[in-house]
Amino acid sequence: MNRVLIVDDETEVLEALSSNLMRRGYSVNTAPNAEAGIAKTKTERFDVALVDIKLPGMDGIMLLEQIKKIDAEMEVVMITGHASVESVKLCMQKGAYDYIEKPLDTNRIAVVIEKALEKRQLTTTVALHEISKAIFSTIEMDELLKIIVDLAMKVLQADDCSIMLFDENNKLYIAFSHGLDEEIKKSTRLAIGEKIAGWVAETKQPIILINGLTNDPRFAGITGRENIKSAIVNPLLKNDKILGILAVSRKQIEENFNKADLYKATVFASLVSLALDNANLYKNIQKLRNELILVNKSLENKEKNALAMVAQLRAAHEELKANQYQLLQSAKLSALGRLVSDMAHEVNNPLMIISGNAQLSLMEEISSETVKNNLKVIFEESQHAKDILQRLLKFARPSKDQVKDVDINKSIESVAILLGHQFNLSNVQIIRSYADDLPHISIDECQMHEVFMNLLNNARDAMPGGGVITITTGIEGDYLKIDFCDTGCGMSEENMKKIFEPFFTTKEKGTGLGLSVSYGIVKVHNGELKLKSIPDKGTTATIYLPLKRS
């Protein structure tokens, strides 16, 4: 449930907003002044804050600054009775998402909150994607541990971090750390339940410590490090199994960790757990490979094992193909962070096992041609699945492997044909005016298809009663020029100024990300996307793509 904090000194406003937002399914907390708002922000996690600019004592703009210092990811919407250009501009500069004027319109407030939540979700997704890319960039344990510690200090703004794993005696030891004395690292061995890390491993619950251990009666009698001002100790769990402990500390940074930091640390720890599980799986596969080379000397046993393996691999292969289909259907740019996490956890692991075992089995002498052929089919299909996943993982941005020379007329036509039936049903006619003998250009065709499809669908939506879309290609200077011209309702000059902004939309439904994402894709190709529109007459979207590869 999304959590909203309302800070206003008017009791009637607090009660009215609280009642309305709770009816809409939000969890609401209130504060009558800035000081109370700061206290709640330090002890609880909120997604959105509604803050009155005019508050007694500390005003709303100063409160906005304090909230952003405590939780930079919280979206803040300002409430004002008399908005001025200067005050609105200052709020936006300080990090406010939007502002609402009094008297308050509850429907308008609900819309603004939803938009703010969409922005927060997208920002979080992008951040998690970047973190995931770094964490899942290696499966070598030593290199992975260093990346985890470096990232933890950066993401959680800490100056001390350590990661603890279990040794062969099921004791916690410090596998990697920053800022910790070498003697402490070598001598530390903790049983489950022993001291702070052992307590977290036993309860599987994260904790925040303030001023070492002096304020926590659970650890009375335990000697802590006196120089630690604040710390978060987080369990690393995989399917409720404890893999280790991640501990971050602040020694020089004066500000204590808060609940927002704890939430962020918990999300980070879940990614770390997946990466550690992958690294352990890789070690187990290496161990399995070595064992397979040394054992199974008997031909009869080899054949029996291979037949059993074929049955298992066939079942896993069918499941993998179903997972591939779902992944391909859900591969949207705005959900790239979740896709990366799902693929790494749900597909890469079984795919590695299938491919690795099939390849190892093929290295052995197998008398049965049927078994050998089955293993070859499984290995080839696994490689095919791997190629599909790689294309999905690279969809977020063009790469040397994805960029190729393309006949732009044929590329556009393939999209027009794909949409043709839908457009006929909508009474929309597509007129082609393709220039002859255009040179091929270097693009990521998959991403550019997304742009073509978005512009054509926008044109169709602008003509609910039907109309005409004219597609024209040609050359203008050093650029290949593509026009999508419709006879639709057009847009106002005011809307045109904001048309490429994320989340801005003139439609009743939609995220408002289509044109923003299309604009970004064209920019990555060193091109330009421009729109011209006349109300009640139509809109022309023009794409400029460089003729020469930069």
Contacts 24+ apart (CB under 8 A), 197-201: 197/164, 197/172, 197/233, 197/245, 197/247, 198/172, 200/233, 200/234, 200/235, 200/245, 201/172, 201/235, 201/242, 201/245
Query: Which tokens is 55 given?
Result: 């508050």
Give backbone dihedrals phi and psi of 5, rounded to 5 degrees, phi first: -110, 130
In tens digits, the chain (550 residues) has pLDDT values of: 788 999 999 998 899 999 999 999 999 999 999 999 999 988 887 889 999 998 998 999 999 999 988 888 889 999 987 767 788 888 888 889 888 888 888 889 999 999 988 887 777 666 667 777 878 888 888 888 998 898 888 888 888 899 999 998 999 999 999 878 888 888 899 999 888 889 999 999 999 887 766 666 677 666 666 677 888 999 999 888 999 999 998 888 777 888 778 888 888 888 888 888 888 888 778 777 777 767 656 556 656 665 676 677 566 556 544 444 333 333 334 444 444 445 444 666 676 777 777 777 777 777 788 877 887 878 777 776 665 555 444 444 444 557 889 999 999 999 999 898 889 999 999 999 999 999 999 998 888 998 999 899 999 999 999 999 999 999 999 999 999 999 999 988 888 888 887 667 777 665 566 787 788 889 888 999 999 999 999 999 999 999 976 5
Exposed/middle/buried for residue 292 (C-beta within 10 Å: 0-12, 13-18, 19+): middle
The CATH homologous superfamily to which domain 403-546 belongs is Histidine kinase-like ATPase, C-terminal domain (3.30.565.10)
3.20.20.70, 3.30.413.10, 3.90.79.10, 3.30.450.40: CATH of 142-272: 3.30.450.40
- At position 256, the amino acid (one-letter code) is N
525/550 Cα distance (integer angstroms): 9
Q: Do domains 3-131 and 142-272 have the same CATH topology?
A: no
Terminal CA-CA length for the chain: 47
β 160-166/241-250 pair status = antiparallel
| Whether CATH 3.40.50.2300 fits 3-131 | yes
Report domain extents, the chain. 3-131, 142-272, 296-393, 403-546
- At position 30, the amino acid (one-letter code) is T
523/544 Cα distance (integer angstroms): 10
What residue has token string 């590869």?
549
In sign, the C-alpha dihedral spanning 472, 400, 446, 517 is negative
